[in-house]
């Protein structure tokens, strides 16, 4: 793209035809919504997920599927090999992660912290490295962070630290990979109504708290849905965001405004 005003139709800017994409943790929730939107835009999508049952979700949207534990280097590399098909990759969405409430800082064990950082940081680093090696003609990497990585929060110390690291990784990688035509951005969702979040909030529901109201407690006044995040991922993956890199896009209905 030149530095002059481009005469490109809007449809072309969002058209991902001919692009190959990999979405980790794409079997359900936010990852599944992102994979669906990328497929709708024309991309050839591979979903990598630890749960083999996610193959059904992949088949329903016309995506390829590979079982993958992102913390296993050989499985991760194999997933990337499937996704690029020998022709390189254009889009990688590092969505897979864990997000349990960690509990009191004084009670969190080193083993728990190790697991949180291994999945949410070290594996995303490895995936970013694998992506960069396969984007010879440029591409877009989208990392899933969290508003917890920006503002913290009680009883989520290990999780908040892991997501802050994802944000730092995103910015550093954007600086390093920009010259190769690779854009690196992050999305920081707020509370999104996914099966995992519902499960996390079950103790609150059992205690009489209106969980649905809690999920919708933001200035916009509506529940955050996986597709809200997916639309933003599609933007960052497409040429609509051709001059956006190193950015953290907050998607929280204004909760942190």
Active site members: 159
DSSP state of 62: T
Helix axes 110-117, 157-177, angle to 10 degrees: 30
Handedness of CA 215, 217, 223, 224 (dihedral sign): negative
Give the CA-trace dihedral at 118, 45, 234, 187, to 10 degrees: 0
Query: For residue 189, what are the β-bridge partners?
Result: 251
Handedness of CA 81, 29, 177, 180 (dihedral sign): positive
Among 248, 246, 237, smallest CA distance to 91 is for 237
**Can you read off the two tokens belonging to residue 166?**
């994802």
Do residues 236 and 140 lie in contact, with contact meaning Cβ atoms separated by under 8 Å? yes
Neighbouring C-alpha atoms within 13 Å toward the C-beta of 132:
17
Handedness of CA 126, 69, 236, 64 (dihedral sign): positive
């Amino acid at each position: 793209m030149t530095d002059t005003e481009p005469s490109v139709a809007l449809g072309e800017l969002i058209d991902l035809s001919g692009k190959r994409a990999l979405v980790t943790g794409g079997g359900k929730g936010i990852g599944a919504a992102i994979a669906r939107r990328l497929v709708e835009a024309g991309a050839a999508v591979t979903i990598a997920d630890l749960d083999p049952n996610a193959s059904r979700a992949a088949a329903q949207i016309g995506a390829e599927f590979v079982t993958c534990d992102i913390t296993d280097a050989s499985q991760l590399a194999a997933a990337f090999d499937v996704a690029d098909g020998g022709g390189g990759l254009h889009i990688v969405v590092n969505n897979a992660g864990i997000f349990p409430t960690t509990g009191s800082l004084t009670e969190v064990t080193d083993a728990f912290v190790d697991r949180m950082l291994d999945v949410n940081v070290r594996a995303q680093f490895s995936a970013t490295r694998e992506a960069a090696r396969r984007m010879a003609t440029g591409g877009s990497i989208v990392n899933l962070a969290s508003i917890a990585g920006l503002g913290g929060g009680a009883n989520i110390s290990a999780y908040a630290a892991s997501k802050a690291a994802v944000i730092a990784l995103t910015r550093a990688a954007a600086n390093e990979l920009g010259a190769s035509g690779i854009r690196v951005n992050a999305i920081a969702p707020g509370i999104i109504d996914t099966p995992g979040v519902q499960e996390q909030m079950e103790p609150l529901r059992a205690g009489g708290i209106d969980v649905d109201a809690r999920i919708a407690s933001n200035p916009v006044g509506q529940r955050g849905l996986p597709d809200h995040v997916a639309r933003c991922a599609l933007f960052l993956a497409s040429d609509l965001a051709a001059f956006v890199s190193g950015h953290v896009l907050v998607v929280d209905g204004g909760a942190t405004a």
